[in-house]
């Protein structure tokens, strides 16, 4: 049950991180707001690992671990780019629904790359919850062009590939409990992503880089929440196939709909209610066959 609680904690923390990043976008730009989660998350993760090192043996990094982490880091950056491209060309509901197809692609990639068993019960639960997201999004699919659908599905697939890379890195470590392995891979991943973003922004977006440094207080908040959320995602990945983690995370769609209805008085259609019901059934089915 640890992976269940870790996933729920990660989903809540990610919501806070997204809110903090959204507040920075107007000041530092989209690329700058994306970079904040890596650049300002790394110090928190690194200091945590340094503090634990005298008490817990830190796993040694091998070539496979670095390769898997690099795959996850690069795929996550690419997925973010396709996500932003989709949101710019499509409505929010369409973009969200397309990207939430991630658990399906994740399950398939995991079965191929990591040889993780993909039984009919797991696949059925994942497909049911994903269908629920499509319905709950309230998307107007008549407005979705083929290009937008392609970029959205690509974003979801790349997010799935990034999760596979992170789980592969966690499983390739030779020793250590799930927490120290998660923290070690988190530091490695954030270091790789920070280096990539620094090089990119140094060459292409120096203004955004300077803006991030000027707003370091707000950036620290987003970075801390991002590192905290990522740590618990990685704990989940260390304990169960990534598809299970990302499918359970779909429950946040239901919570978001409930919050928007309560706080912002946004109406919910019968089709959206049906979609939320399918998400709950899919998540419940997944837990029944995995826990």
pLDDT for position 63: 93
DSSP annotation string for 208-249: HHHHHHHTHHHHHHHHHHHHHHHHHHHHHHHHS-HHHHHHHT
pLDDT for position 95: 61
Q: Which domain holds residue 77?
A: 2-290
Mean pLDDT, residues 233-240: 93
- Does residue 69 surpass a pLDDT of 80? yes
Q: Backbone phi, then psi, for 209, in 5-degree steps? A: -65, -40
pLDDT tens, residue by residue, 156-198: 888 888 989 999 999 999 889 999 999 999 999 999 999 999 9
3-state helix, strand, coil in the chain (%, to 5): 85, 0, 15
pLDDT for position 131: 78
- Does residue 6 surpass a pLDDT of 90? yes
Q: What is the DSSP letter of 61?
A: P
CB atoms within 10 A of CB 25: 14
Under 8 Å between Cβ of 191 and 42: yes
Under 8 Å between Cβ of 27 and 151: no
pLDDT for position 55: 93
- State how far the Cα of 271 lies from the Cα of 139, in Å rounded to an integer: 11
Structural domain tally of the chain?
Answer: 1
Give the percent of the chain with pLDDT over 70.
79
CA dihedral 35, 164, 11, 185 (to 10 degrees): -60
pLDDT for position 264: 43
- Does residue 210 surpass a pLDDT of 60? yes
Average pLDDT over the chain, rounded to an integer: 80
Sign, CA dihedral 112-113-115-116, equals negative
Q: Which of 66, 90, 86, 88 minimizes the C-alpha distance to 78?
A: 86
- State how far the Cα of 57 lies from the Cα of 180, in Å rounded to an integer: 8
Mean pLDDT, residues 93-120: 70
Under 8 Å between Cβ of 36 and 241: no
pLDDT for position 198: 93
Q: Which residue has the higher pLDDT, 15 or 123?
A: 123
Q: Which of 10-24, 85-99, 142-156 has the lowest mean pLDDT?
A: 85-99
pLDDT for position 141: 52
- Does residue 263 surpass a pLDDT of 60? no
- State how far the Cα of 255 lies from the Cα of 258, in Å rounded to an integer: 5
Tell me how far the alpha carbon of residue 264 is from its chain's centroid: 26
Can you give the length of the chain in residues? 291
- Does residue 73 surpass a pLDDT of 60? yes
pLDDT for position 262: 47
């Amino acid at each position: 049950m640890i992976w269940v609680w870790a996933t729920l904690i990660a989903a809540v923390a990610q919501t806070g991180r997204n809110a903090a990043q959204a507040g920075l976008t107007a000041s530092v730009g989209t690329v700058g707001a994306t970079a904040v989660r890596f650049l300002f998350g790394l110090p928190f993760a690194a200091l945590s690992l340094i503090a634990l090192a005298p008490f817990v043996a830190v796993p040694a990094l091998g070539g496979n671990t670095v390769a898997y982490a690099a795959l996850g880091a690069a795929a996550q950056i690419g997925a973010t780019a396709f996500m932003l491209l989709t949101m710019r060309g499509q409505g929010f509901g369409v973009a969200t629904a397309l990207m939430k197809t991630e658990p399906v692609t994740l399950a398939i990639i995991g079965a191929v790359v990591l040889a993780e068993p993909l039984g009919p019960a797991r696949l059925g639960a994942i497909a049911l919850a994903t269908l629920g997201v499509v319905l709950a999004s309230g998307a107007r699919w008549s407005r979705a062009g083929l290009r937008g659908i392609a970029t959205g599905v690509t974003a979801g697939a790349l997010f799935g590939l990034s999760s596979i890379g992170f789980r592969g890195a966690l499983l390739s470590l030779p020793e250590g409990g799930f927490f120290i392995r998660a923290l070690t891979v988190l530091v490695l991943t954030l270091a790789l992503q920070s280096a990539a973003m620094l090089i990119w922004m140094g060459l292409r977006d120096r203004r955004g880089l300077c803006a991030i440094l000027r707003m370091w207080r707000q950036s620290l908040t987003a970075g801390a929440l991002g590192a905290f959320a990522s740590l618990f995602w990685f704990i989940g990945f260390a304990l169960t196939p990534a598809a299970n983690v990302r499918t359970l995370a779909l429950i946040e769609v239901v919570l978001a709909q409930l919050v928007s209805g309560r706080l912002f008085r946004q109406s919910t259609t019968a089709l959206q209610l049906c979609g939320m019901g399918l998400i709950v059934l899919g998540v419940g089915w997944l837990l029944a066959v995995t826990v």
